[in-house]
Each structure stands twice: as structure tokens, then as C-alpha cells.
Amino acid sequence: MTAYITRAEVHGAADQIDADGRKPSAKAVREITKRGSYSTIETHLGTWTPRDHRLGLPPIPAGVTATVDSLTADLWHIALDAAQQQAMADIERAVAEAAEARTAAARVGEHADHLAADLAAAQQRISVLEETVAERDLQINQRAELIRHWELEAARKEGEIASLHHTLAQVTAAPADASKSTKNPAQQPAA
């Protein structure tokens, strides 16, 4: 069963078909509307007037249509050429920027390699210096221990010297006391 179709629907579909540059037919209208019987569509098409005729315009001469088509094609080719040229310029610019970026990345990579080599050399120097400092610390500790030993030895010797001075003082004082007592008997107290 085919649903009813109005005259306005048929005329609208016919205008659309005419705008596409085709001649309206019942079959073409049915393809757009998807309803209506062919006889009803044919009846309504009989009352349809092309838009140009409704506006009172004369039909477009074939030469004008061909000229417009030619100009449209020319404009399309000009626009396409301009777009292709712009695209090529954009591609060339992108390629140049990519090359610059690769060059910059290579320079950064080389700089990073130099920095890594410098860091490795600095770490090696630090390691050598740490070993040298450890050796010096050991030598300083050994010498400090030796100095403490010498200081103790010097203190012991000073103690011995002081003891010998004291003994010497006693030994030297004893004969002097004895000689005093033997030399001057008058000065000795009577017992």
C-alpha cells in the first residue's frame, strides 16, 4: 500500500531534482519522497512549474551554462593549484624544521656525551683524590701516634733527668756538708 502524497511534497521534490540539473519524473520524485503512487505523482507534476518559470526568468542559455561550468572548473583548478603550492610550502617548511630539530638534537646529544665524559673524568679524579686523602689521613694518624709516643718518651726522659738532678743535688750536697763539718770544728756545736 502506497501512502498519500501531497502536491506540495511533489513540487518540493521536483524543485530539488531540477536544482540538481535533472528533469523531474514520477520515478525520480518517488525515489526522494519514498511514497505516493506514480499516478498521483504524475498528476501533481502536471501542475508543477520550474522555479525559473515561476520567477518569470527566461531559461538559462546553454552557452552561459557551459561558460559557468568552464569558469567553475578553472576556479577549481586555480584553487587546487594554490592549495597544492601551499601544501608543498608547508611540507618544505616542516622538512626544514625537522632537519633543524635533528641537527639541534644531534648537538645536544654531542654536548650530553661531552658532559658525560667530563663527569666520568671528574668522578675518576674525585676517586683518586679520595684515595690520596685516605692515605694522607693514615699518614697523619701514624705521625700523630708517633708524636704522642715521642711526647711520652720526652716526658719520661724529663722525669728521669729531674730525678737525676735531684739525686745529683743530694750527692753534691752531702760531701759539702761533710766537708763543712770536718773543716771547721770550732763551729760545730759541743756535744
For 2-29, how does the pLDDT look when each residue is reduced to its tens digit (9 = 90+)? 578 999 999 999 999 998 889 999 999 9
- pTM of the entire predicted model: 0.36
Would you say 4 and 36 are in contact if contact means Cβ atoms under 8 Å apart? yes
pLDDT reported for residue 59: 64
124-170 per-position pLDDT tens digit: 999 999 999 999 999 999 999 999 999 999 999 999 999 999 999 88
Identify the residue with better confidence: 183 or 71.
71
Q: Which residue has the cell 511514497?
A: 35
Calculate the average pLDDT of the chain: 87
pLDDT reported for residue 50: 82
User: What integer is the mean pLDDT of 84-89?
Assistant: 96
DSSP state of 190: P
Q: Where residue 106 falls among pLDDT bands split at 50, 70, 90?
A: very high
Run of H or E residues at 96? helix 62-183
Planar angle of CA 84, 87, 91, nearest 5 degrees: 135
DSSP state of 55: T
Would you say 53 and 18 are in contact if contact means Cβ atoms under 8 Å apart? no
